[in-house]
A and B are shown apart, each in its own frame.
Chain A
Amino acid sequence: MSGFTPQFRPEHGEATPWTVLRPDGELEPGREAALSDEQLRDACELTLFSRAFDEKGFSLQRQGRFGTFSPVRGQEASVVGAAFALDPARDWVVPQYRELPALLRQGLPLEQFMLTFLGDPRGGAAPEGVNVLPIQIGLAAQLPQAVGLAWGHALQGRDSVVAVFCGDGASSEGDFHEACNLAGTLRAPVVFVVQNNGWAISTPRARQSAAATLAGRAPGYGIPGALVDGNDLLAVHQVVADAVARARAGEGPTLVETLTYRLGDHNTADDASRYQPAEELEAWAPRDPISRVLAHLRTRELWDDAHDTAVRERIAARIDEAVRTVEAMEPPGVEHLFEHVTETLSPRLQGQRAELQAQVRTR
């Protein structure tokens, strides 16, 4: 435990996000990195992986080889910092759709994620033992589910904690408020990570809620809230680690808001230049979560050019391998409409399957 207790000062406009790492890579005075050197290097590698995958994904999408997907670009520290606060063996990640690195850290094979965004039903087949729920497209729908998951584990005496992610836009949905309220009353071991990236497609954060901060709503649910610099991997890690420790100790849920910025398009079908002011992008560029953590590692001599090259080569090779694997797979057939719909197929569905299969054969 870092000894930092998430605390939110609700005075309007006075909330300052918790920071550990300054943009130049130096630590804020009196604060320390709560990750070991090795963890820190691993976390950095995962952020680089995520950025590299976004770039590859965009270029594959433009070539028609990958589906519509939402990049993590700009938000890597929020996702990776939170993920490193979890123990993949017992803790769970309940994602929206922008948390690839957290899913990878939990053990989800990259191929699985790619298949989902290729529009392949086999993408849903996360291996047993990988503690994740499927990607969620219906905004905020996963939040009450995460509370139930955490509650269910607690009822059975497991010490699992659930980290559930959503965006600032999703925090306006009824499901969000209902989930926070329920978690508070149940003292469920769940950590709500709201990634405030400034935008819900074209709708700016200011249009989403009149509240000064999203974390500041927490007292209304009877739970603690914490506002954290979402581009600071160490700060996110520390705040979420404390929230996880609280949850594990039976002290209930925490609402964490990571203040970050989506660098560019909402997804590959979007054109952010229609609404995102160029000045805003420029203002956030120097706060890039990757350069920040890299600067820190280099200052501490935990990262040098040789290591950097080796890491990037490893990443590129892994991504290429995944692309090759999914592209070599036999495309799914008509039977995949019917598999896993229910445990056994009703006679009516069996008939529909036979009919469609016959139809495909005569094509």
Chain B
Amino acid sequence: MTRLNMLQAINTTLRGELARDERTLVLGQDVGRLGGVFRATDGLLDEFGPDRVVDMPLAEASIVGAAIGLAAAGLVPIAEMQFLGFSHQAFHQIGAQLARMRYRSQGRFPMPVVIRAPFGGGVRTPELHSEALEAQFVQSPGLSVVMPATPADAKGLLQTAVRSSDPVLFCEPLRGYRLVTGEVADGDAPVPFGKLRVARDGTDVTLVAWSAAVQVAEKAAEALAEEGISAAVVDLRTLVPLDEAGLADAVAATGRCVVVHEAPLSAGFGAEVVATVNDAAFYSLEAPVARVAAPDTPYPPGRIEDHFVPGVDRVVAAARATVKAA
């Protein structure tokens, strides 16, 4: 075990995967010479050379489109979107092409493609750098959507992603890149998709979150503990595939549930969580499932983003109300 931050975990995992399988290659904007704008790919160019760590022309659609072709040629591309917000430029290649290629070719062309993309608020970025767009991709059948919250998961889930023969959107919480540290297993420790993580045990209410919202939920649980409310925190880890059974068990254990996410409320993945809980755990519920999310407004400029991104106080208030509900 080694203590790493999120970025270090990603960097070492990429290095390990490039070394393990010579069919893998990393491609994107500024991933080579600069080592990525966040240094996630630092040092890889020197180690693996320009055919395997490729600085691409500035065009997201061609990065993903080329990854599709590379995969069809038998390679394993790991593409980087500099920010998830710029995946819009590649959305037709992701949603309309990559996600359905296996189905369209009836299995002839599986798509072992990983798209890594930092996202998320709280860092005062310019416009289009912080949006949490995960729900858009959940609506692209065929694509796994992976949202690690810890360095250990960043490594374990990324290993699984690279080794999967299906396409994966791997969203990285940029607020946690340097801030969130933790013990990370050395060597191989792939984390399976579709298995949630219980980040904290509790008996009164279950807080459900993913990515950077997990840390918000954990802080809220600490604050709630001081009021005598015992909150469990579960980290979904992967939205597609979703751990429905794990979710049902975690909610049934407390009978109360609050979902927390950074994306706008309406049609956010929180709505899917509520529906799933209704289907799988309705009769164990003692209160309606609550959602804490961003408002249905454009991601705002830095000076007011703290009002937009759900903070600890909003989660605490929602959990308190849920627990007090008859």
Q: How far is the CB of B11 from chain A (nearest CB, A)?
A: 16
What 1/0 mask marks residues of chain B from 62 to 93 whose CB sits below 8 Å from any chain A CB?
10000000000000000000000110110000
Stretch from A79-87, A181-189, A199-207, A316-324 that touches the partner: A199-207
- CB distance A120 to B303 under 8 Å? yes
Chain B's closest residue to A116 (CB) is B301
Contacts of A174 in B (CB 8 A): 59, 61-62, 89
Give the one of B29, B58, B85, B305 with max A CB within 10 A: B58
For the complex, is A7 an interface residue (Cβ under 8 Å from B)? no
What 1/0 mask marks residues of chain B from 45 to 67 whose CB sits below 8 Å from any chain A CB?
00000000001111111100000
For the complex, is B15 an interface residue (Cβ under 8 Å from A)? no
17 more CB-based (< 8 A) A-B contacts, given A137-B126, A203-B30, A356-B307? A67-B126, A116-B301, A119-B124, A121-B303, A137-B129, A138-B85, A172-B57, A201-B34, A275-B33, A275-B34, A336-B300, A336-B304, A337-B307, A337-B308, A352-B295, A352-B297, A356-B295
Given contacts A138-B88, A172-B59, contact A332 B34 (CB under 8 A): no
- CB distance A169 to B307 under 8 Å? no
Contacts of B138 in A (CB 8 A): none
- Contact with A67, one of B35, B298, B302 (Cβ below 8 angstroms): B302
Cα distance A356–B310 when bound, in Å? 10
- CB distance A119 to B303 under 8 Å? yes
- CB distance B295 to A202 under 8 Å? no
For the complex, is B314 an interface residue (Cβ under 8 Å from A)? yes
Chain A's closest residue to B125 (CB) is A68
Chain B's closest residue to A201 (CB) is B30
For the complex, is B265 an interface residue (Cβ under 8 Å from A)? yes
What 1/0 mask marks residues of chain A from 151 to 175 whose CB sits below 8 Å from any chain B CB?
0000000000000000001101111
- CB distance A341 to B298 under 8 Å? yes
For the complex, is B296 an interface residue (Cβ under 8 Å from A)? yes
Chain A's closest residue to B295 (CB) is A352
Given contacts A137-B127, A139-B58, contact A118 B30 (CB under 8 A): no
What 1/0 mask marks residues of chain A from 201 to 238 whose CB sits below 8 Å from any chain B CB?
11100011100000000000000000000000000000
For the complex, is A307 an interface residue (Cβ under 8 Å from B)? no
Contacts of B188 in A (CB 8 A): none
Given contacts A138-B88, A138-B128, contact A200 B58 (CB under 8 A): yes
Chain B's closest residue to A357 (CB) is B307
Q: How far is the CB of B175 from chain A (nearest CB, A)?
A: 15
Contacts of B21 in A (CB 8 A): none
Contacts of B203 in A (CB 8 A): none
For the complex, is A349 an interface residue (Cβ under 8 Å from B)? yes
- Contact with A334, one of B125, B126, B307 (Cβ below 8 angstroms): B307
For the complex, is A29 an interface residue (Cβ under 8 Å from B)? no
Interface range, A side: 35 or more
Contacts of A270 in B (CB 8 A): 37
For the complex, is A30 an interface residue (Cβ under 8 Å from B)? no
For the complex, is B136 an interface residue (Cβ under 8 Å from A)? no
- CB distance A173 to B59 under 8 Å? yes
Given contacts A119-B303, A138-B89, A337-B297, contact A207 B55 (CB under 8 A): yes
Q: How far is the CB of B171 from chain A (nearest CB, A)?
A: 19
- CB distance B296 to A348 under 8 Å? yes
Say whether chain B's binding surface is mostly helix, strand, loop, or mixed: loop
- CB distance A202 to B307 under 8 Å? no
Q: How far is the CB of A348 from chain B (nearest CB, A)?
A: 7
- CB distance A209 to B301 under 8 Å? no
Contacts of B124 in A (CB 8 A): 67-68, 119
Contacts of B34 in A (CB 8 A): 201-202, 274-275
- CB distance A203 to B58 under 8 Å? yes
- CB distance A121 to B300 under 8 Å? yes
Cα distance A201–B36 when bound, in Å? 10
- CB distance B297 to A119 under 8 Å? no
Cα distance A208–B59 when bound, in Å? 9
Chain B's closest residue to A172 (CB) is B57
9 contacts between A and B (CB under 8 A): A67-B126, A68-B124, A119-B305, A120-B303, A121-B303, A137-B127, A138-B128, A173-B59, A202-B32
Cα distance A332–B305 when bound, in Å? 11
For the complex, is A12 an interface residue (Cβ under 8 Å from B)? no
Cα distance A172–B63 when bound, in Å? 11
Cα distance A120–B302 when bound, in Å? 7
For the complex, is B272 an interface residue (Cβ under 8 Å from A)? no
Q: How far is the CB of B296 from chain A (nearest CB, A)?
A: 6
Chain A's closest residue to B36 (CB) is A202
What 1/0 mask marks residues of chain A from 115 to 126 whose CB sits below 8 Å from any chain B CB?
010111101000
Cα distance A331–B301 when bound, in Å? 12
Chain A's closest residue to B296 (CB) is A349
Contacts of B297 in A (CB 8 A): 337-338, 341, 349, 352
Contacts of A41 in B (CB 8 A): none
For the complex, is B313 an interface residue (Cβ under 8 Å from A)? yes
Give the one of B33, B295, B296, B308 with max A CB within 10 A: B295
- CB distance B302 to A119 under 8 Å? yes
Given contacts A137-B126, A356-B307, contact A348 B266 (CB under 8 A): yes
What 1/0 mask marks residues of chain B from 293 to 326 whose CB sits below 8 Å from any chain A CB?
0011110111111011000011001000000000
**B14-45, CB < 8 A from A:** 29-30, 32-35, 37
Q: How far is the CB of B206 from chain A (nearest CB, A)?
A: 22
Contacts of B60 in A (CB 8 A): 173
Chain A's closest residue to B124 (CB) is A119
- CB distance A359 to B301 under 8 Å? no
Contacts of A208 in B (CB 8 A): 57-58
Cα distance A175–B60 when bound, in Å? 11
Contacts of A352 in B (CB 8 A): 265, 295-297
Chain B's closest residue to A275 (CB) is B33
Cα distance A97–B127 when bound, in Å? 11
